Amino acid sequence: MASSTRKRVVVLGAGLAGLAAAWELVQSGHEVVVLEAQTRPGGRVLTLREGFAPGLTAEAGAMFFTDRFRHLMRLVQHFEIPYESIFAPSLPYARGDALFHLQGRRLRVTADSDVDWPYNLTAEERELGPFGIVNKYLLSAFAGMDDPVASGALPDWLLEHDDKTLLEFAAERGASPGAQEMIRHGGRFGARSDTASAASTLTADFAPTRDTAPLAFVGGSDVLPRALAAELDQRIHYGAEAVRIEQDQESAQIVVRSGGRQDRVIADQVVCAIPFSVLRHIEVAPALSPAKQTVVNGLEYLSVTRSFLQMRQRFWEDEGVMGNAQTDLAIGEVQQQPLIRSQAQGDRAILEAHARWAGEPPALEGMAEEERLRYVLEEMDKVHPGVGRHYEGGQSKSWQTDRWARGAYSLYRPGQISNWLPEASRQEGRIHFAGEHTSIFNSTMEGAVESGVRAAREIEES
């Protein structure tokens, strides 16, 4: 339904948050201009298609979602975007033994194998293994409790755990120090588990994924931002960097650098959908409130560097193991791409090393591309012995050195979900804030879309 007063809105950033906000506003009849610094839409949804053999693609940013991502699914259904379950039993990815490399040892694990986990676990924890430990100490916490995904709000029981990290939460629920190590290194949550607020990780990482299979987009994650961008078409200005945001009683004005020129775009309202890690380097006049400024300047981002090694053969399938592996090596988690097995043409695939950290960077971060790939390959040999024989070449992506992201995704430390998140999303005059970092589902595509929808609603109601 068209709004009674048509507003002119400028959206900063054509990531999922900006695109979702723009799309909603256009549906409501507003005049929308999107300014995007890069020459493509999608931001941290980035499917790499160049530099690999024909048919191979790799996700450098977002990969998984679930059908519990309500706002995302609404768009997926509207644009009829095909997706598949990644670990469905019918797909070969579900076959093969699980691999771990922990405490200097390679562990090959079948569902019923008796594994000598290299941690000081209780007899029960030893029996449970990494998946059972996550179920017992983390997922079971949701039983009978209000679900943030269903309600779209952070329930009090989760907010109470904003004062601790996920590992501290697990310890409170009885996890031994060894089991905490297992959660830290034997699962996907890695560096977030001992740095981020438990309220944040439980809401954004665990709640949407429990009781449901992870999904991936057929054709690559960027199909969704591309579908939105295609519809917004000429409303998006690419290569248009916002360098200053101004507002007064009359209007908002954005100073834009584009093609060597500097222009001014005037609007009634602004949706600022760029990460705070980038916004803190942009002038805002008059200055944002001190409370907002504290969050814009102080919010941390997790660091992620992903190295993609092209393999001539999926040799691990012949060995009966998964390409994927959980490791405590500096190269991080090993993942096989493309995620959807049916999309891999021929025998080739990519083995990816997914390093995540907060604070001190691992050695690979300081390396030049070629040296980094060589190092990753050497370390990968500990997980997949003989991998070098199948290696054809590769590329890597460091999100913290990407000037339009300056980090992978927001990292709310203990206490900051209560104190900072409400401030992050609060409107300041004509400026409305969107982006994964402003949502309870921060660090996800759902958070980005949800925040865009919320910012559009704020404008509709203003």
Ligand X SMILES: Cc1cc2nc3c(=O)[nH]c(=O)nc-3n(C[C@H](O)[C@H](O)[C@H](O)COP(=O)(O)OP(=O)(O)OC[C@H]3O[C@@H](n4cnc5c(N)ncnc54)[C@H](O)[C@@H]3O)c2cc1C
- The rounded distance, in Å, linking the Cα atoms of 251 and 234 is 23
Give min distance, CB of 430 to ligand X, in A.
Answer: 17
Residue nearest to ligand X according to CB distances in the complex: 15
Give min distance, CB of 275 to ligand X, in A.
Answer: 5
Give min distance, CB of 178 to ligand X, in A.
Answer: 28
* Closer to ligand X by Cβ: residue 199 or 445: 445
Tell me the HSE value of 274 on the side-chain side, using a 13 A CA sphere.
Answer: 28
Give min distance, CB of 425 to ligand X, in A.
Answer: 12
Q: Residue 409, Cβ neighbours under 10 Å: how many?
A: 26
Give min distance, CB of 427 to ligand X, in A.
Answer: 17
Give min distance, CB of 131 to ligand X, in A.
Answer: 19
- Lookup: tokens for 150: 């269903």
Residue 17: name the closest of 68, 81, 63, 71 by CA. Answer: 71
In the chain the first and final C-alpha atoms are separated, in Å, by 16
Please answer whether residues 34 and 57 qualify as being in contact, where contact means their C-beta atoms are separated by less than 8 angstroms. Answer: no
Please answer whether residues 415 and 163 qualify as being in contact, where contact means their C-beta atoms are separated by less than 8 angstroms. Answer: yes
* Closer to ligand X by Cβ: residue 202 or 448: 448
Please answer whether residues 246 and 43 qualify as being in contact, where contact means their C-beta atoms are separated by less than 8 angstroms. Answer: no
* Closer to ligand X by Cβ: residue 98 or 408: 408
- The rounded distance, in Å, linking the Cα atoms of 257 and 242 is 6
* Closer to ligand X by Cβ: residue 220 or 435: 435
* Closer to ligand X by Cβ: residue 258 or 418: 258
* Closer to ligand X by Cβ: residue 109 or 302: 302
**How big is the CA angle at 448 (ends 203 and 423), to the nearest 5 degrees?**
70
- Lookup: tokens for 46: 């980035």
Give min distance, CB of 86 to ligand X, in A.
Answer: 10
- Sorted by sequence, the CB contacts under 8 Å of residue 74 that are 6+ apart come out as none
Report CA-CA distances (Å) from 412 to 71, 447, 461: 22, 14, 29
Give min distance, CB of 60 to ligand X, in A.
Answer: 7
**Angle, helices 123-137/177-186, rounded to nearest 10 degrees:** 60
φ, ψ of residue 428 in degrees (nearest 5): -125, 100
Q: Residue 151, Cβ neighbours under 10 Å: how many?
A: 9
According to DSSP, residue 164 is labeled: S
Residue 137: name the closest of 184, 169, 178, 103 by CA. Answer: 169
Give min distance, CB of 230 to ligand X, in A.
Answer: 16
* Closer to ligand X by Cβ: residue 391 or 399: 399
The dihedral of CA 36, 41, 44, 47: what is its sign?
A: negative
Please answer whether residues 231 and 22 qualify as being in contact, where contact means their C-beta atoms are separated by less than 8 angstroms. Answer: no
Please give the residue ranges that form the binding site for ligand X (CB under 6 A): 12-18, 35-38, 43-45, 61-65, 241-242, 273-275, 278, 282, 304, 399, 404-405, 408-409, 435-436, 443-445, 447-448
Give min distance, CB of 271 to ligand X, in A.
Answer: 10
Report CA-CA distances (Å) from 440 to 155, 164, 307, 449: 11, 16, 29, 12
Give min distance, CB of 47 to ligand X, in A.
Answer: 11
DSSP per position, 24-63: HHHHTT-EEEEE-SSSSSBTT--EE-SSSSTT--EESS--
* Closer to ligand X by Cβ: residue 36 or 317: 36
* Closer to ligand X by Cβ: residue 29 or 152: 152
**How big is the CA angle at 27 (ends 22 and 28), to the nearest 5 degrees?**
100
Give min distance, CB of 349 to ligand X, in A.
Answer: 18
* Closer to ligand X by Cβ: residue 85 or 176: 85
* Closer to ligand X by Cβ: residue 14 or 167: 14
* Closer to ligand X by Cβ: residue 322 or 424: 424
Residue 23: name the closest of 45, 40, 41 by CA. Answer: 41
